[in-house]
Amino acid sequence: MSLKFSSAADRLMDKANMLKSKDLYPFFRQIGDSEGTVVKIDGRDQIMIGSNNYLGLTHHPHVKEAAIKAIEKYGTGCTGSRFLNGNLTIHEELEEKLATYLGHEKALIFSTGMQTNLGALSAICGPRDCMLFDSENHASIIDASRLAMGTTFKYRHNDMESLEEQLEANIDRFQKVIIVADGVFSMTGDIANLPEMVRLAEKYGAYIYVDDAHGIGVMGEKGAGTMNHFGVTDKVHLNMGTFSKSFASIGGVLSGDAETINYVKHLARSFMFSASMAPSAVATVSACIDVINEDDTLHEKLWDNVQFMRNGFQEIGFYTYNSQTPIIPIFIGDDVKSMLVTKFLSDHGVFATPVVPPAVPKGEALIRTSYMATHSKSELTKVLEVFAKAKKEFDLPSTMGH
């Protein structure tokens, strides 16, 4: 007998079943094989522009070799938490390496990015504290606020006047106020206005926590993050990142001053009560940092590809939210049309992902595209050709107002 769910959940499942019946369901597509920039779906090759593999390191020979050697030395898993039997030498070596790379005093690695936010924010925000959230923050930050004992208020997306209003209203009401925002926003590719955020934090005596899941590895010098991009690393109190994007693996990192990181290490439940990162995952991240430090062309290739696609979409006439990152969203508007376009792209050899409410506001469905350093120009040219056909086929808008 099936469990009974709410009417809202029933409506969600009805919509999913309707999309499946019309062959428009775009989720859980089975990838049979992958070469990084090309994946195989139902036996057919598709150019992948729907991943977060920004540096294309998932198939790099040095990275793969490091993962294999780690398995040979340590086995496939740690079978316990860092607190008990799961603390390997390579865990602590990676933390030192990441602290140096990011420019902070200390770093702590978690088994997933989601666990990093859940553990860190719930640890640092107590009953007498307050967090101020950007309205477009990632779901993991929203879930973290539900675990934290403190109060949460939102400010309008990347609107520093709105943030200042919240600071003025709350700075004297709480023991500490923490501004929490994505460094790079995952759906639209917006970059947080960190310089102004820093100015306001200093003015009011607040703290800054940046979720840089889509920023580390990409933004700043050698990918040292959004805080490095703006030259404010020493002004960001805590910086979070994930390894499931540029670092070709899975896991998360929190960096900051040694005292705070040590505090989180002993208070964050998602760290204390989770098995530690698998040896192969740790070695993968470490090898990625080696490649990043040694290959000066990696970021040049990435940004060259991003500019190529940005110019191409502009020539076709798409609205791309003025994105300045490897995430280039294509505004569609209508939910169902975004599904139709996704299927059209797939049928023509392009793997992209639709984004619909509640991930974006109602009426603002989009196709999220993202690019890698390893995409070839011939692959990207084909993607633009297919998108140009889709624009004519579906009369896709050139502005948010159509």
DSSP state of 2: P
pLDDT of the residue at 14:
73
Helices (H) and strands (E) in the chain, counts: 14, 14
Residue 389 sits in a domain of what CATH number? Answer: 3.90.1150.10
44 lies in a domain?
A: yes
Please compute the mean of the pLDDT values over residues 131-155 and round it to a whole number.
Answer: 93
Instruction: Name residues whose C-beta falls within 8 Å of residue 374's C-beta, 6 or more positions apart in sequence.
Output: 36, 37, 55, 56, 59, 301
At 315, the amino acid letter reads: E
What tokens were used for 401?
């107002």
- Which of 236, 264, 294 is the C-terminal boundary of a domain? 294
Of 111, 145, 186, 280, which is the active-site residue?
186
Element (H, E) at 145: helix 139-147
Domain count, the chain: 2
* Mean per-residue pLDDT, 304-311: 97
Residue 101 predicted with pLDDT over 90: yes
Q: Which residue among 264, 279, 294 closes a domain?
A: 294
pLDDT top residue among 325 and 16? 325
- Residues 143, 192, single domain; the answer is yes
Whether 75 and 39 share a structural domain: no
The one catalytic residue in 138, 214, 229, 265 is 214
The verdict on 105 and 231 lying in the same domain is yes
- Would the pLDDT of 26 be above 90? no
- Please indicate, yes or no, if residue 7 is contained in any of the structural domains: no
**Highest-pLDDT range among 148-152, 214-218, 352-356:** 214-218
Q: How many CB atoms lie within 10 A of CB 377?
A: 10
211-236 pLDDT, tens digit per residue, is: 999 999 999 999 999 999 999 999 99
Residue 213: the pLDDT is: 96
* Cα→Cα distances 275→70, 83, 86, 245, 336, Å: 17, 9, 7, 21, 41
Question: Is the sign of the CA dihedral 277, 283, 287, 290 positive or negative?
Answer: positive
- The reply to whether 5 falls in a domain is no
pLDDT value for 251: 97
Residue where a domain stops, chosen among 262, 294, 326: 294
Let me know whether 235 and 140 are in one domain. Answer: yes
Task: Provide the CATH number for the domain around residue 290.
Answer: 3.40.640.10
Taking a C-beta distance cutoff of 8 angstroms, is the pair 332, 297 a contact?
no
The pairing of strands 44-48 and 31-34 is unpaired
308 and 234 together in one domain: no
Active site residue 214: yes
pTM above 0.85, yes or no: yes
Q: In one letter, which amino acid is 396?
A: L
pLDDT in tens, 158-183: 999 999 999 999 999 999 999 999 99
Averaged over 84-91, what is the pLDDT? Answer: 95
Kind and range of the H or E run holding 158: none
Separation between Cα atoms, residue 316 and residue 308, nearest integer Å? 12
Q: What is the pLDDT of residues 132-142, one digit of tens each?
A: 999 989 989 99
Q: Do residues 230 and 92 share a domain? A: yes
According to DSSP, the residues that pair with 44 across neighbouring strands are 41
Residue 401: per-residue pLDDT: 62
Q: With a cut of 90, say whether residue 36 has pLDDT above it.
A: no
Q: Is residue 12 situated within a structural domain?
A: no
Mean pLDDT of 26-30: 77
Is 4 or 261 the better-scoring residue by pLDDT? 261
pLDDT at 198 over 60: yes
Same domain flag for 274 and 365:
no
Q: Are residues 234 and 322 in the same domain?
A: no
Q: What CA–CA distance (Å, rounded) separates 115 from 343?
A: 33
When pLDDT is averaged across residues 62-86 and rounded to a whole number, the result is 96
Tell me the chain's radius of gyration from C-alpha atoms. 21
Mean pLDDT (whole number) for 374-385: 98
Q: Which of 104, 245, 265, 299 is catalytic?
A: 245
- Is residue 201 included in any domain, yes or no? yes
Is residue 1, in this structure, part of any structural domain at all?
no
For residue 184, what is the DSSP state?
B
Looking at the structure, tell me whether residues 364 and 307 fall in a common domain. yes
Tokens 């607190």 found at: 83
Q: Which tens digits make up the pLDDT trace of 245-256? A: 999 999 999 999
Measured distance CA(232)–CA(192) in Å, rounded:
12
Query: Which three-class secondary structure state does DSSP give residue 337?
Result: helix
Is residue 277 located within the same domain as residue 319? Answer: no
Does position 333 have pLDDT exceeding 70, yes or no? yes
Does the pLDDT of residue 100 top 60, yes or no? yes
The mean per-residue pLDDT over the stretch 382-389 comes to 98
Percent residues over pLDDT 90 in the chain: 83
Residues 36 and 100 in one domain: no
Examine the domain organization and report whether 173 and 321 are in the same domain.
no
**Range of the structural domain that residue 331 is part of:** 21-50+297-394
Domain-located, residue 16: no
pLDDT at 372: 97
> Does 155 map to a domain?
yes
